[in-house]
Amino acid sequence: MTSVFAAYDKPLFEEYETTLKSVNNNRAVIDDSPSIVVGSGGIVMYLFENEESMITARATVVSKNGTDAVLELTPFDTLVQKNFPRMSVTPKEGDIVKLNYLYNRSLLVTPNYESFKKITDFFVDIEWIHPDIAAAFLAKRYIPNPDKKSFVELCNINMTGLITFNINNMGYFVDCTSFKVVKAFKIPVEGEEIVLPFYSRISDNVKTSPLVVIGNKNIENYGEYYRLLLGLK
């Protein structure tokens, strides 16, 4: 667990590349490594003879035992173009796997500006998607209580692999696909103000639709809401 006290200017997550040892339906096996974390995500790539490549699936680490790591394979639909046919290429033994894919970019969810500033000043190697972008997305769709589906869509739109949540005196790096915590760090509580649903300069515009009677309610407790969303105790 990392303790925040000075700027961290090294890559926090190194992209890890290997090949598929075997594939069985939506499960694949790769060699295990200390660099692999359960819950982390990546992509499977098919390499053509001309050395061009294409992404054939998402990959999420579901287990590891020191020798092998098991991946769950799901469709990669981030870059789907509906006007073109899909290529019928599926993952197979020998295909390339890249884990920690797009982990150099992250959405950021904090309760106030002080925490936002502290985290972005510390992890200088990460490209942070400004929370105003996320808030504008939620405001347009009248979503004052973003759920997993909303965050996954935000990740896809902004081509990010991580969401970083600041809850109480802790920070959590969460994989966009599995929604599992892949790394946690301590951060002293900064500021007393709590902005809902999270800090941004336009959070006041994130409201429920006046036409909705039941459904998208405002968040009442920032910490409790996001701890429940992440399944934290």
> Which residues lie closer than 8 Å to 61 by C-beta, 6 or more apart?
36, 37, 38, 39, 40, 41, 69, 70, 71, 99
92 and 138: one domain? no
175 and 85: one domain? no
The yes-or-no verdict on residue 191 having pLDDT over 90 is no
Instruction: Give a yes or no: residue 127 inside a domain.
Output: yes
For position 1, what pLDDT does the model report? Answer: 64
Report the mean per-residue pLDDT for the chain. Answer: 90
136 and 111: one domain? yes
| Cα–Cα nearest to 59, from 138, 137, 210, 175 | 175
Among candidate residues 99, 125, 143, the one where a domain is terminated: 99
The yes-or-no verdict on residue 221 having pLDDT over 70 is yes
223 and 142: one domain? yes
65 and 81: one domain? yes
Among candidate residues 78, 99, 120, the one where a domain is terminated: 99
| Cα–Cα nearest to 172, from 110, 214, 90 | 110
* Distance (Å, whole) CA 33 – CA 18: 10
Instruction: Give a yes or no: residue 151 inside a domain.
Output: yes
90 and 188: one domain? no
Instruction: Give a yes or no: residue 111 inside a domain.
Output: yes
Instruction: Give a yes or no: residue 183 inside a domain.
Output: yes
Which structural domain, as residue segments, surrounds residue 202?
103-230
How many residues make up the chain in this entry?
Answer: 233
Mean pLDDT of 204-226: 83
Strand-pairing partners, residue 8, are 123
Asked whether the beta carbons of 222 and 194 are under 8 A apart, the reply is yes
CATH number at residue 85: 2.40.30.20
Confidence of residue 85 (pLDDT cuts 50, 70, 90): low
41 and 67: one domain? yes
Instruction: Give a yes or no: residue 165 inside a domain.
Output: yes
146 and 223: one domain? yes
For position 6, what pLDDT does the model report? Answer: 58
Strand-pairing partners, residue 54, are 46
The yes-or-no verdict on residue 181 having pLDDT over 70 is yes
Tokens 């600041």 — which residue? Answer: 166
> pTM value?
0.89
Mean pLDDT of 48-64: 89
**The residue type at 140:** K
127 and 74: one domain? no
For position 2, what pLDDT does the model report? Answer: 57
Among candidate residues 72, 99, 126, the one where a domain is terminated: 99
212 and 111: one domain? yes
91 and 113: one domain? no
Could you please report the per-residue DSSP string of 64-78? E-SSEEEEEEE---T
114 and 225: one domain? yes
Instruction: Give a yes or no: residue 10 inside a domain.
Output: no
Instruction: Give a yes or no: residue 1 inside a domain.
Output: no
Instruction: Give a yes or no: residue 4 inside a domain.
Output: no
* Domain count for the chain: 2
* Of 133 and 79, more confident: 133
Mean pLDDT of 24-33: 96
